[in-house]
Amino acid sequence: MNSSAPLPVLPDRPHTARAFALVALAAVAWVFAYSVVQPLADWLAYGLLGLAQGSPLGASVAFFLYDVPKILLLLSGMIFVISVIQSFFSPERTRAFLSGKRQGVGNVLAAALGIVTPFCSCSAVPLFIGFVKAGIPLGVTFSFLIAAPLVNEVALVLLFGMFGWQVAALYAATGVTIAIFAGALIGRTRPERFVEAFVFEGMAGAGGLVEEKPSWVERLRAAWQSTREIVGKVWLYVVIGIAVGAGIHGFVPEDALAGIMGRDAWWSVPAAVLLGIPLYSNAAGVVPVVQALVAKGAALGTVLAFMMAVVGLSLPEMIILRRVLKPRLIATFIGVVGAGIIFTGYLFNLVLPR
Amino acid sequence: MTNVKILGAGCANCKRLEQSVRRVAEARHLDLTVEKVTDYAEMMKWNILQTPGLVVEDKLVSAGRIPKDDELARLLVPQA
């Protein structure tokens, strides 16, 4: 761009042009940084530290030095883009859109909206009550509550970065499918019986929050803020996850895990799911470990089932939901979603080429 | 004296919002009482979908985010 020519900015919107210029500049810097990660990591591991190529320690260190900056760059870049997209969705708009939708079509829409609507599990209870009071069927609400944490942006970015887009897309598609069917199934069990009474008491408060439509500057600023927040929250998980993964890469022999986590070990899928439920981590910590396990002979279906159980059925979220759901319904929730995840694990192990 | 309520069951962002409110109130010499609403049935009176919610003189002004200090200063002055 010719810097001496005045930028064609509208007089009342100078900030918009400046914000977009900043984003473009950051994008260029990002692409440059991403392209030097690999040579820099190799130089650091084999040149500066003088580790032998192909040695276990050399392989581990090179893997770590390459993957940490690569994944952190991917995370920050893609979370920013996703946050901008999410600024067009809000729980309020999703609720307005879903209210009046029946079971069936509602489950499909709710699961899809669960991916793009910004959601924090700490808001699960107000969101649940708000949806129910707006007349959204319980089964549809569950489809949303299952999809939102299961198919989250951090999980998708990490799967994309470490396994490629096919696996990320497969994960997203199955996550949504599980959310649709699990929600529809729960909706048929007359779950109203097992929802705490206060949820239905009183009418929906009048109005709620009416936010003005944000300008582009506000969208970009909010996206930047949420990128910093998300990356700030998960970077340590990424580093630890990649460190564990790097250790596995360097020191665990090839195919060591084929026996216990391979596709022929039929019990490994339910075992992985049972193990995943009490574990509380986020996708950022799990994916690097999972990737290393696959490299050593674990079956992809088994480890994806493990990951889904960790992020989709977390114990803390169940404890939060206990405020509005009776134990019976929480058990149904875990049972139905867990069964869906186990089924998916077997399906992947069956159909994916090794 | 302005009555300010923070809606949220003790999540990390709820605490950060409370800190921000107190900081802004002190810096701008705003005279307000800060009340925490942690009961879900109670906070649903304002029909929020995301915590933390910020209520100024019984009116919900933000939800699910922590406004920046200058915006917060504006929000903490009750609208007529």
| Interface contact flag, B51 A122, Cβ < 8 Å | yes
Cβ-Cβ contacts under 8 Å, B13 against chain A? 120, 122
Task: Find which of A120-124, A192-196, A200-204 is predicted with most confidence, using mean pLDDT.
Answer: A192-196
Band (pLDDT 50/70/90 cuts) for residue A286 is confident
List b or e across A127-160, with b for residues whose CB sees 16 or more CB atoms inside 10 angstroms: bbbbbbbbebbbbbbbbbbbbbbbbbbbbbbbbb
Residue A3 reports pLDDT greater than 50: no
Band (pLDDT 50/70/90 cuts) for residue A142 is very high
pLDDT at A204: 55
Single-letter amino acid, residue A309: A
Provide the shortest C-alpha distance from residue A208 to chain B (in Å): 5
Residue A1 reports pLDDT greater than 50: no
Look-up of token digits 């694990």:
A345
Band (pLDDT 50/70/90 cuts) for residue A208 is low
CA neighbor of A288 nearest in space, from A152, A176, A154, A147: A154
Q: What is the pLDDT of residues A75-114, one digit of tens each?
A: 999 999 999 998 888 888 888 889 888 888 999 999 999 9
pLDDT at A341: 94
Whole-number Cα distances in Å, B3 to B31, B57, B59: 9, 5, 10
- As a whole number, mean pLDDT of residues A189-214 equals 75
- As a whole number, mean pLDDT of residues A171-186 equals 94
pLDDT at B80: 53
Cβ-Cβ contacts under 8 Å, A122 against chain B? 9, 11-13, 51
* B17-22 long-range contacts, CB within 8 A, separation 24+: B17/B52, B17/B54, B17/B66, B20/B66, B20/B67, B20/B69, B20/B72, B21/B54, B21/B72, B21/B76
Residues 6+ away with beta carbon under 8 Å from B67:
B20, B54, B75
Q: What is the pLDDT of residues B27-70, one digit of tens each?
A: 888 888 888 898 888 888 888 888 889 998 888 888 888 888 88
- As a whole number, mean pLDDT of residues B16-34 equals 89
Band (pLDDT 50/70/90 cuts) for residue A55 is confident
Name the residue among B40, B41, B63 with its Cβ closest to that of A209. Answer: B63
pLDDT at A7: 46
pLDDT at A315: 82
> Are B52 and B13 spatial neighbours (Cβ–Cβ below 8 Å)?
yes
| Interface contact flag, B9 A125, Cβ < 8 Å | yes
Between CA A86 and CA A94 the distance in angstroms is 11
> Are A209 and A95 spatial neighbours (Cβ–Cβ below 8 Å)?
no
Residue A156 reports pLDDT greater than 70: yes
Residue A333 reports pLDDT greater than 50: yes
Residue A54 reports pLDDT greater than 80: no
pLDDT at A28: 92
Residues 6+ away with beta carbon under 8 Å from B24:
B30, B69, B72, B73, B76
- B59 — contact with chain A (CB < 8 Å)? no
pLDDT at A334: 92
pLDDT at A202: 65
pLDDT at B43: 84
| Interface contact flag, A208 B40, Cβ < 8 Å | no
pLDDT at A25: 92
Cβ-Cβ contacts under 8 Å, A212 against chain B? none
For the question of an ipTM over 0.95, the answer is: no
- As a whole number, mean pLDDT of residues A67-72 equals 90
- A125 — contact with chain B (CB < 8 Å)? yes
Kindly list the domain boundaries of chain A, sorted by start residue.
16-199+221-354
Task: Find which of A83-97, A253-267, A272-286 is predicted with most confidence, using mean pLDDT.
Answer: A83-97
Residue A4 reports pLDDT greater than 70: no
> Are A269 and A304 spatial neighbours (Cβ–Cβ below 8 Å)?
no
Residue A6 reports pLDDT greater than 60: no
pLDDT at A207: 55
Q: What is the pLDDT of residues A219-258, one digit of tens each?
A: 898 889 889 988 888 899 889 999 998 888 888 877 777 7
Higher-confidence residue of A314 and A77: namely A77
pLDDT at A11: 44
- As a whole number, mean pLDDT of residues A268-280 equals 85
Residues 6+ away with beta carbon under 8 Å from B72:
B20, B21, B24
CA neighbor of A96 nearest in space, from B26, B69, B47, B75: B47
Residue A196 reports pLDDT greater than 50: yes
Report the chain A residue with the minimal C-alpha distance to residue B14.
A122
Q: Which domains, and CATH codes, for chain B? A: 2-75 (3.40.30.10)
Between CA A138 and CA A157 the distance in angstroms is 30
How is A45-110 classified by DSSP, letter by letter? IIIIS-PPTTSHHHHHHHHHHHHHHHHHHHHHHHHHHHHHHHTT--HHHHHHHHTTPPTTHHHHHH
